[in-house]
Structure 1
Amino acid sequence: MEITECDITATESAAVIAAAELIDAAVVAGEREPTLASLARGLDMQPARLRQVFTARLGLTPKAYADARRASRLRDELATGAAVSDAIHAAGYGSVSRVYERHGVLLGMTPARYRRGAPGEVVGYTFADTSLGRLIVGTTDEGVCYIAFGSGDEGLLGELAARFARAEILPAREEQAELVEAVVALVEGATDADVPLDVRGTAFQRLVWDALTRIEPGETITYAELARRIGRPTAVRAVAQACGANPVAVAVPCHRVIGADGTLTGYRWGVERKRTLLERERR
């Protein structure tokens, strides 16, 4: 049976936070995460109930949360230049082969390739004119990886190249034109545009970005409310930073987040664009 946050007591809410912290501590220590049974036992709860309230609060089961945190640790370790085997063990994975089997889910590429900065990966780019100004769309074989507004092609391309520093940046292939058309349609107000994404970020950023896509067109929420929706009510600043790091304008609608006083606070691509997007969605 599905439950909402209204069905969760204050004690249970505190237990969820405690369980997440125990999982985080295990990942930081490079250890296996505690089992659901051991978490429940330590928190004096029934395992089924703990799993239920944990999922309702954080949007992930304890196991899925642990997997996301461990994958984030693996990415961080590889980014430092650590040897692949050392990074895998530091993140708490018991088997190197197991990580390679799941590399697409965990990293989007093999650990060795991720460590090298994905050399050889191809990111296609296309410029487009929209009612909100010049736009660049970055695409991979998996979907759209970058959307940004700007005033000049050179600057937009430079930003794309900086984000994918080790990738090969080339004009998009003809077969990727449909992706660009879908992005332009989305910018112009289409609500049924299908834009498959290939967005990469930390586990926390992806949690925030996923929550952003669940905000209805025309609806606005505050950063504090967004933090509550992902089960991190004290992480307002981190949530705002994750919104600012969103690499796909409009497709992940960070423009629907406003300040606590209702004002249209800073938007990476300009407050006027933010206002226009919201006005279109409310028509």
Structure 2
Amino acid sequence: MTADIYTLDASSRDYDRIAGALAYLGDNWRDHPDLDRAAKAAGLSPHHFQRVFTRWVGVSPKKFVGALAHDAAREAIDDGACVLDAAYEAGLSGPGRLHDLFIAHEAITPGDARRRGAGLQFHWGVAPSPFGDAVLLIAPRGLSAMAFADPDVERGFADLEARYPAAAYQRDDTLARHWAERIFAPGSAEKLPLALYGTPWQRQVWRALLTLKPGETTSYKSIAEQVDSPKASRAVGAAVGANPVSWLIPCHRVLASNGKLTGYHWGVERKRAMLAYEAARR
């Protein structure tokens, strides 16, 4: 209780100092102001400002500006701008810096984002699994997503297709079954290639999930501590919820701090079945 009260009080105290900095960065992010200028707007030393801002916002001032720039560039690209124009819209000197920005935030290039998957070939299919029919999305480099088909196959596929609406999709249930057999083979220790797209923060959380052994559970708080962000339980929850590959990246092993089952994208009952399935085989 003391820690919660302290966190709430600290956030309240920090607000007045951070509000001015947020307004300054919101007005001037295209200039990509350095730490000294942002700290001056908050009336703090650079070192103190870095610490207070990161604690209150959850990311560093530099990452906050990068997120604003990325959002502006993404909006420009979605509106049809070329990569060069999107770079200038984001206040960047050229396509090279825009490329780095998109890799950091989406793990794809701005060209890929502009094409919205155009030129990419995905196979998708439906296969049985121990937890009902699974919908798999397979990229040339590996498995990109696996969901469950409830309430119907087409809706399950539409959820995955929305990631790359301009990509080419070919249904191949035989290939999907081949992958499902590899994924759910009893005692299989095979490391399957994954072609994942997510922010660095999401990938960090997903890597932490991959360290969990079958039958082992953890909490959002524990994952936050594992990725060196002990106060970021809520952000961890969002990253866990964004996991595109069920079962293999075992977000079903994350429980509330009181040990209770919490929301699961594919249903709490399925989450309970997964944990029971693993426990029985452990």
Using the alignment, how far apart are the partners of 2:254 and 2:244 within structure 1? 16
2:143 and 2:195 in contact (8 A); partners too: yes
For the residue of structure 2 that corresponds to 1:196, the secondary structure is coil
Equivalent in the alignment of 2:155: 155
> What CA deviation, in whole Å up to 9, does each residue of 1:257-281 have, x standing for no partner?
1112111111111223222322343
For the residue of structure 1 that corresponds to 2:266, the secondary structure is coil
Pick the structure with greater CA Rg.
Answer: 2
Counterpart pick for 1:233 among 231, 234, 238: 231
For the residue of structure 2 that corresponds to 1:144, the secondary structure is strand
- The CA RMSD measured in Å over matched residues stands at 4.6
Equivalent in the alignment of 2:79: 81
Equivalent in the alignment of 1:114: 113
2:73 and 2:89 in contact (8 A); partners too: no
For the residue of structure 2 that corresponds to 1:147, the secondary structure is strand
2:29 and 2:69 in contact (8 A); partners too: no
Using the alignment, how far apart are the partners of 1:175 and 1:150 within structure 2? 17
Amino acid at match of 1:274: K
Q: Is 1:132 the equivalent of 2:131?
A: yes
Q: Is 1:266 the equivalent of 2:263?
A: yes
Using the alignment, how far apart are the partners of 2:182 and 2:132 within structure 1? 16
2:121 and 2:167 in contact (8 A); partners too: yes
Equivalent in the alignment of 1:213: 210
Structure 1 residues 90-101: aligned runs within 5 Å:
91=90, 93-97=92-96, 99=98
> What CA deviation, in whole Å up to 9, does each residue of 1:134-166 have, x standing for no partner?
111101112111101124333323333333322
Q: Which structure ranks higher in relative contact order (CA pairs < 8 Å, sequence separation ≥ 6)?
A: 1
Using the alignment, how far apart are the partners of 2:67 and 2:196 within structure 1? 17
Amino acid at match of 1:182: R
Using the alignment, how far apart are the partners of 1:274 and 1:29 within structure 2? 42
Equivalent in the alignment of 1:168: 168
Counterpart pick for 2:278 among 274, 277, 281: 281
Consecutive unaligned residues of structure 1, counting only runs of 5 or more, are: 1-21, 45-49
Are the structure 2 counterparts of residues 79 and 218 from structure 1 closer, same or farther at C-alpha, using a change threshold of 3 Å?
Answer: farther
> What CA deviation, in whole Å up to 9, does each residue of 1:207-230 have, x standing for no partner?
322322233332222222223333
Using the alignment, how far apart are the partners of 2:102 and 2:214 within structure 1? 34
Is the deviation greater in 157-166 or in 245-254? 157-166
2:76 and 2:89 in contact (8 A); partners too: no
Are the structure 2 counterparts of residues 140 and 225 from structure 1 closer, same or farther at C-alpha, using a change threshold of 3 Å?
Answer: same
Q: Is 1:43 the equivalent of 2:47?
A: yes
Using the alignment, how far apart are the partners of 2:232 and 2:123 within structure 1? 38
> What CA deviation, in whole Å up to 9, does each residue of 1:242-261 have, x standing for no partner?
22221110121111111121
1:79 is displaced (CA, Å) by 5.7
1:122 is displaced (CA, Å) by 1.7
Using the alignment, how far apart are the partners of 1:251 and 1:262 within structure 2? 22
Using the alignment, how far apart are the partners of 1:268 and 1:259 within structure 2? 15
2:149 and 2:156 in contact (8 A); partners too: yes
Using the alignment, how far apart are the partners of 2:209 and 2:168 within structure 1? 30
For the residue of structure 2 that corresponds to 1:274, the secondary structure is helix
For the residue of structure 1 that corresponds to 2:248, the secondary structure is coil
Consecutive unaligned residues of structure 2, counting only runs of 5 or more, are: 1-20, 40-44
2:128 and 2:177 in contact (8 A); partners too: no
2:220 and 2:255 in contact (8 A); partners too: yes
> What CA deviation, in whole Å up to 9, does each residue of 1:96-139 have, x standing for no partner?
24655998787565423412312232221121112211111101
TM-score, normalising length: structure 2: 0.66
Equivalent in the alignment of 2:250: 253
Are the structure 2 counterparts of residues 207 and 109 from structure 1 closer, same or farther at C-alpha, using a change threshold of 3 Å?
Answer: closer
Amino acid at match of 1:206: R
